[in-house]
Structure 1
Amino acid sequence: MDTASIKNLFRLKSIPTEPKQEQLPKTEAIPNEESLEESRKRTYHESGYRDSSRTNGNHSTLSICLDVVYSKFQNEEKEMVEKQQKLKESYVNEQKNRETEIKALTVSQENKEEQLRNKNKEIENHQNTIESLKAEILDLPRNPEKYNVKATKGASAKFWIGLILLIPITLYLATFYISTSYSAFFKSFDAKSTVIQSVLDANAWMKAWYDGFIEVAFVTLIPFVFLGLGFLIHMFGENKTRANYIKLGLLFIVTFVFDSILAYEIESKLYELNKTFDSPPFDLKIAFTKIQFWGIIFAGFIVYIIWGLVFDFVMKEHREKDKIKSELEIRQKKVISLSEKINVLKKEIEEVITNIANTKELIIKTRGRIEELQNIIDGVIIPTKDYKLYASEYVQGWITFIGEKIAVSRTEKQTMIDDCIATYNTNLENVGANSDGQNLVYLSSL
C-alpha cells in the first residue's frame, strides 16, 4: 500500500464550523485564514511523521505522543484570545442571563417574604380581635352601656314582677271568660242562683263538657281570643303610627262590645227570673241601670286591658335582653368568621413558605451554574472537532512513516497501522473527543 492510499484511508472529514466565504485574491504580504489552518495541519502531520521515525512507529509510544499533542494543542488554543472569546461568548451570555434570573428570583423571594410577613401580621391582628371579642362576650351582659348597647343589665326586677303578675291575670281571664261565656250562652238559671253564682260558675267547664263538644270547645277557646287581642295591642303598640293607633282603638271597642254582650245576656237571664207582669221587656236602657251589668263588663274588660299592658311591659323588658343576646350573637359570628380567615391564611402561608424554599433552592442552583460558567470562562475551551482534526493529521503523519519507511511484511505493517488507529481512538475517548461528542467542547481549567 502506497503512502497516498494509507492517508486517504485514515483521513477524517472535519465539519466546518462556519460557512465558506468567497476567497479574496491572495497576497503574499497577508496570509489568509485558510493558509494558516493548512499550515497548522501540515505542522501536525510533519510532527507525526518525525516522531514516528524516532520510535519506528511503535503504537505504545504513539499514546504518549498523543498526550503531548493534546497538551500542545491546548496551549495553542489558550494563546488564541479572539478564538477563545468567540468560543466563550455563549457561556458569557448564559452567565448574564443567569445573573438576571437571580435578580428576578431575589425580587420574587423578597416579595414572597413580604407577603409572609403581611399574612402573619394579619393573623396576629385577627387573633387579637378574637381575644377582644371574647372579652366583650363575657363583659357585655354586665356592662352593655360600655359597648353602646341600649339595654338594661340582665333581666330586671320589673321583668320578673311583670311576668309573675301576668301568670295569675292570665288564669283569671281564662276562668272569667269560661264562666261568663258558659253562663251567657248555655246555662239555664233558676230562682235559687245568686248573681255571683250566675256569673262565675265553678263547674262551668265540666257542665260544658257534659253538654257537648261545641259547648266545651267554645268555652275553652274563647279566652285565647281575648289573649290574642291583648297580644295585638302589644304588636300595634311597637310601631307608633296613626294606622296602628286606629287599630288599637278598634280592638278596645271590639273587646268592650263583646264584654257588653256577655254582660247583657247574663243580666237578661237574671232579669227574666225576677220580672213581674208589670215589668217592661229587658232592653239596653234597663241593662245600663244595672250594677251587675257594669260589674261584668269591667271585671273582664278592665282586667283585659291590664293584662295587655302588663304583657306589653314584659315583652319590652324581654326585648332589652334580646338586644344583648343579639349583640352577643354578632360577636360570636365574627369570632367564627375570623377563625375561618385565620385557617385560610395559614394554608396560604404554607404555600408561600414552600414557594420561598423552592425559590431559594433555584437561586442556589443558578448561582452554582454561574460558578460553573465562570470556571469555563476562566479556563480554556478545547474544541473537540478541531482537536480531532489536528490529531488525525498527526496520526496520519505517524502512519505515513510506517507505510513508507518500515520494512516489514504487508500483514505486519497493516497490524501496526491498526494498532495505531486503535491507540488514536482511545486517545479521543480519553479527552472527550469521541464520535458521540463531536459537537461538544472539552473544558480544561488552567
Structure 2
Amino acid sequence: MINPTKDFFSPNSDATHTDGQPTVNGATLDTINEARKRTYHEAGYRDSTRNSGSHMPLSICLQAVYAKFQNEEKEDVEKQKVAKEPYEKEQREKETELKTLEVKQAGKQEQIVNVDNKIKTVKDGIEAIKFEINDLAKDPEKYHIKAKKGATAKFWIGLFLLLPISLYLFTFYVSTSYSAFFKKFDAADTAIASVFDPNAFEKAWSDGKLEGWFVTLIPFVFLGLGYLIHMFGENKSLLNYTKMAGLFAITLLFDAILAYLIEDKIYEVTKALDDVKFSLTIALFKAQFWVIIFAGFVVYIIWGIVFDFVMKEHREKDTIKHEQQKRRKDIRIHQDQIKDLEKQRDGLISEQNEIKESIVKAQIRIAHLQKIIDGVVIPSKEYVLYASEYMQGWITYVFEKLYISRTEKHNVAEECKTTYYSHLEEVGAKADYQNSIYLPEL
C-alpha cells in the first residue's frame, strides 16, 4: 500500500558542493538528475516501440517503472536515512510520551486503590457502629455509658405501678378535698364514707364550677409537689435536700389540714351539747385523723419513690437512646463520606480511562511509525517527474513513429494519458506530496 505524506528530506548526505552546486562522487546533482530523466525518457520510448504505443500494456509497464524507481530509492541508504529522520524523531517523542502516560496511569491506579481502601475502612467503621447500636442496650458499661442493662424493662414495670398509684392519689385527694371543703355532714355519715365519698367528683360539679374545678385540679398540686421533689433530688446538695424536706413538710401539713377539717365536721355533727369545742388536741387522739394522713401522705411518698425510679430509668433509657442516635448520625456522616469518595474514585477512573486511550493511541502511532521506518520512503514528486519523462518517451514514439492518422494518434495519446493518471492514483503519487511511504505489511 502507498500512503502519501507531506514530509520533506534533505539531499544525500554524501553530497558535496563545487561552485555552489551539490555533487555526488564528483558529479553535480543536476547532471545526475538530467541523466536519470533521460534514462526514463529513453525507456518510455523503447517500451512504446515494442508495444506500438498502445495504452493496454502501458499499465503493466508503469508498474514495472514504479518497481524500478522504488528499488532505486530503497538502495539509496543515506537518502532513506535522511527521509526517515522525522519519523524516527516522532517515534522517540511518542515513546517518551508513552512512558510518561504509563507513569501517570500507574499513579492513577494507586490513587484509585487508596480511595477503595478508604471506602472499605469507612464501610467497616459503619458496620462496627451498627454493632455498637445493637449492643448498647445490652451492655452500656462496655462503652463507658452510665446506664444499667435492662433499663427499658424496669421503666415499663415502674410505669405500670405508677399509673394505678397516681389514680389512687387522684381519687383520694378528690374525695378528701371535697369532704374537707364542700361536703355537708350529718349524723348518719361514717368516717370512711365521709373521706372516700364515691360520688365526690359528680357532687362537686353539681354544686358549681368552682367546686368542680377545685376538686379536679387539687390532685395535680400534690403531683406537682412530687415532681419538684424529684427535680431537687437530681442535683444532690444541701440546699436541694433542704428544699425537698420543706416540700415533704408542706405535703404532710396539707394532708393534716384536710384530716383536721374532716374530723372537725364529723365531730360537730356527732358531739353532745356539753362536749368541748373541737381542737388539735382532740384531733391528735382520733384514729381516723391519722388514717387520713397516712392514706394520703404515705401513699404519696410511695408514689414519689416510684416516680423517681421511673424517671431515673427513663433517663438511663434516654442516655442509651441518645448514644444510639449519635451513632446513627455518625453513620449518616460516614455514608456522605463514602459518596464523596465514590465520586472521587469515579473521577479518577474517568481520568485513568482517558490516559489508557492516550496510551493505546501512542502505541498504535509508535507501531505505525516503526512500519514506516522499516518500509521505503518514496519521494512522490521525484517519481512523478521521472514517470512523466517515461510517458513523454512513450508519447514521442506515438507521434513520431506510429503510422496512423493524426486523429488516431491523439486518441491513443488520450488513452495513454488516462492510464497514466490511473497509475499515479493507484500508487498514491501526487505532485503536491513530497513523500509517499511504501509499507509492505501495513
TM category, shorter? 0.7 to 0.9
| Counterpart for residue 311 of structure 2 | 315
Residues 346-379 of structure 1, C-alpha deviations (whole Å, 9 max, x = no match): 7776776676566546534432332121010111
For 1:443, the aligned partner's letter is Y
Distance 1:310 1:52, change over 3 A: same
Deviation at 1:93, TM superposition (A): 3.4
Deviation at 1:188, TM superposition (A): 1.5
Using the alignment, how far apart are the partners of 2:379 and 2:249 within structure 1?
Answer: 116
**TM-score of the two chains, using structure 1 as the length reference:** 0.76
Does residue 290 (structure 1) correspond to residue 286 (structure 2)? The answer is no
Using the alignment, how far apart are the partners of 2:135 and 2:273 within structure 1?
Answer: 75
Residues 378 and 445 in structure 1, CA contact (< 8 A), matched pair in contact too: no
- Note the residue ranges of structure 2 that are not aligned, 5 or more in a row: 1-5, 11-16
| Counterpart for residue 383 of structure 2 | 387
| Counterpart for residue 60 of structure 1 | 56
| Counterpart for residue 173 of structure 2 | 177
| Counterpart for residue 117 of structure 2 | 121
2:184 to 188, 192, 198: 188
Distance 1:355 1:156, change over 3 A: closer
286-295 vs 181-190, which deviates more? Answer: 286-295
1:443 to 414, 435, 438: 438
| Counterpart for residue 220 of structure 2 | 224
Residues 180 and 259 in structure 2, CA contact (< 8 A), matched pair in contact too: yes
Using the alignment, how far apart are the partners of 1:431 and 1:160 within structure 2?
Answer: 98
Deviation at 1:195, TM superposition (A): 4.4
Deviation at 1:380, TM superposition (A): 0.7
| Counterpart for residue 9 of structure 1 | none
Deviation at 1:162, TM superposition (A): 4.7
Deviation at 1:246, TM superposition (A): 7.0
Does residue 149 (structure 1) correspond to residue 145 (structure 2)? The answer is yes
- Count of residues in correspondence between the two structures: 424
- Note the residue ranges of structure 1 that are not aligned, 5 or more in a row: 1-14
SS at match of 2:148: coil
State the Cα RMSD in Å: 4.2
Using the alignment, how far apart are the partners of 1:410 and 1:204 within structure 2?
Answer: 147
Residues 8 and 435 in structure 2, CA contact (< 8 A), matched pair in contact too: no
Using the alignment, how far apart are the partners of 1:62 and 1:159 within structure 2?
Answer: 111
Using the alignment, how far apart are the partners of 1:354 and 1:227 within structure 2?
Answer: 68
Among all aligned residue pairs of Structure 1 and Structure 2, give the percentage whose two residues are the same amino acid. Answer: 54
258-267 vs 55-64, which deviates more? Answer: 258-267
Q: After the TM superposition, which residues 244-283 of structure 1 pair with which residues of structure 2 at under 5 Å, given as runs? A: 248=244, 251-252=247-248, 255=251, 258-259=254-255, 262-263=258-259, 265-266=261-262, 269-270=265-266, 273=269, 274=271
Deviation at 1:428, TM superposition (A): 0.6
Does residue 369 (structure 1) correspond to residue 365 (structure 2)? The answer is yes
Q: After the TM superposition, which residues 354-433 of structure 1 pair with which residues of structure 2 at under 5 Å, given as runs? A: 359-360=355-356, 362-433=358-429
Residues 130 and 338 in structure 1, CA contact (< 8 A), matched pair in contact too: yes
SS at match of 1:202: coil
| Counterpart for residue 4 of structure 1 | none
Using the alignment, how far apart are the partners of 2:177 and 2:382 within structure 1?
Answer: 126
Distance 1:16 1:317, change over 3 A: closer
Q: After the TM superposition, which residues 52-91 of structure 1 pair with which residues of structure 2 at under 5 Å, given as runs? A: 52-91=48-87
**TM-score of the two chains, using structure 2 as the length reference:** 0.77
For 2:171, the aligned partner's letter is T
Deviation at 1:209, TM superposition (A): 3.7
Distance 1:151 1:433, change over 3 A: same
Using the alignment, how far apart are the partners of 2:336 and 2:382 within structure 1?
Answer: 68
SS at match of 2:56: helix
SS at match of 1:382: strand
SS at match of 1:60: coil
